[in-house]
Amino acid sequence: MRRLLNFCAIASLLVMIACNKPEKELYLFTSFHEPATEGLRFLYSEDGVHWDSIPGVWLTPEVGKQKVMRDPSIVRTPDGTYHLVWTSSWRGDLGFGYAHSKDLINWSEQRMIPVMAYDTTTVNVWAPELFYDDKNDQMMVIWASCIPGAFEKGIEDDKNNHRQYYITTKDFETISETKLLLDPGYSSIDAALIKRAPQDYVMVVKDNTRPNRNLQVSFANSPYGPWSQPSAPFTEFLSEGPNIVKVGDEYIIYYDDYGKKVYGAQLTSDFVNFTDITDEVSIPEGHKHGTIFRAPQSLVDRMLSEAQRK
C-alpha cells in the first residue's frame, strides 16, 4: 500500500509539472505590403529562419495624413499587452500611429502620438521602433526625423538630413519629452536595438546618405546612449529596415535589400563579423520590414483559424 501511495504521489507531481510547463512560443514578424494602405500583416516561424504568412490584414490604418501603415513594430510587455507603433505618413505627420491588443486580433482605438509637435518644421516621423527596457520596466520608441537646419547639412539637403530620436513610456498615456538618441554627423534612419547583456546594447542603423544607404552597427552601455560612432557597413548599397532576432547563440539581422529586390539576412555572433545567409532563409514574397517578437503557439493557432474564417 505504501509503495502504491508513493507511486501515486510521484505521478501526481509529474502531472503538475507537465501542467505548469511553459507554453511553446513561436516567432512572429510584423509586415506590410506596398503601397502600405491595407494594414498590418504577420509572418510566423518555429525556428526564426523559415517563415510563413498568417493570411489577411489585422489592422487597417486610420490615423495620419496619408493613413498608411509602414514599418510596424510590436513589443509584448510583462502584463501580456502587445503594443504597436507604425509610420503613418511619408511626410507631414508630427507623430506615429499607436494601438494595443491582448490577442493581436482585437485592437484598441488608434491614436497619433505627437512626439515632434514641439517643432512644426519637422518633415517626417519615420520607422518608429519599440524596445522594452526591462531594467526600468518601460518602453522606448526610437524613430528618425528631419528638422531642416537643425544639423550641419553635409551631403544631404535639409529635407533629408535625419537623426534618431526617442521617447519613453510605460503606457502611452504618460510620455517623456523627446530626446536626441544618435547623431553620427550624417543622415541616419531605421534603428533597431537589442540587449545582449547588462550594460551591453547593440543598435543596427541605416546610413541614409546618397552614396551609402547601407547598414552599420553601434554599441552602448545603455539603450539611451551614449552610442558609439557607427561601424563600417556590413551590407551592400541600397539596404534598410533592419530587425534583429536571437536564434540559439547567434543573431540574425533581417533587412530589406531593396537594391536586389530581395529580403536579406546576415548571421553574426558578435556584430563585428557577418555571414550572408540570404539564400538559407525563406521569406514570403511581398513582405516588407517590420519587427520580430515571440508569442504563444496557441495564439498563432487562433490567428490561423481566424484567418480561415475571413
CB 206 within 8 A of CB 147: no
Integer Cα distance of 204 and 224 in angstroms: 14
pLDDT of residue 33: 97
Helix (H) or strand (E) holding 2: helix 2-19
For residue 192, being part of any structural domain is answered with: yes
Integer Cα distance of 30 and 3 in angstroms: 54
pLDDT of residue 116: 98
Amino acid letter for position 42? F
For residue 108, being part of any structural domain is answered with: yes
What CATH number did the domain enclosing 185 receive?
A: 2.115.10.20
pLDDT of residue 151: 94
Integer Cα distance of 297 and 306 in angstroms: 14
pLDDT of residue 19: 52
For residue 42, being part of any structural domain is answered with: no
Render pLDDT for 69-110 as a digit per residue (tens, 0 to 9).
999 999 999 999 999 999 999 999 999 999 999 999 999 999
Low-confidence residues in the chain, pLDDT < 70: 1-20
Domain that holds residue 169: 82-286
For residue 56, being part of any structural domain is answered with: no
Cβ count near 183 (within 10 Å): 14
For residue 16, being part of any structural domain is answered with: no
**pTM to 2 decimals?**
0.92
pLDDT of residue 14: 45
> If DSSP codes are grouped into helix, strand and coil, which group holds residue 158?
helix
pLDDT of residue 196: 97
pLDDT of residue 15: 41
Largest interatomic CA distance in the chain: 86
For residue 27, being part of any structural domain is answered with: no
Domain count, the chain: 1
For residue 187, being part of any structural domain is answered with: yes
For residue 96, being part of any structural domain is answered with: yes
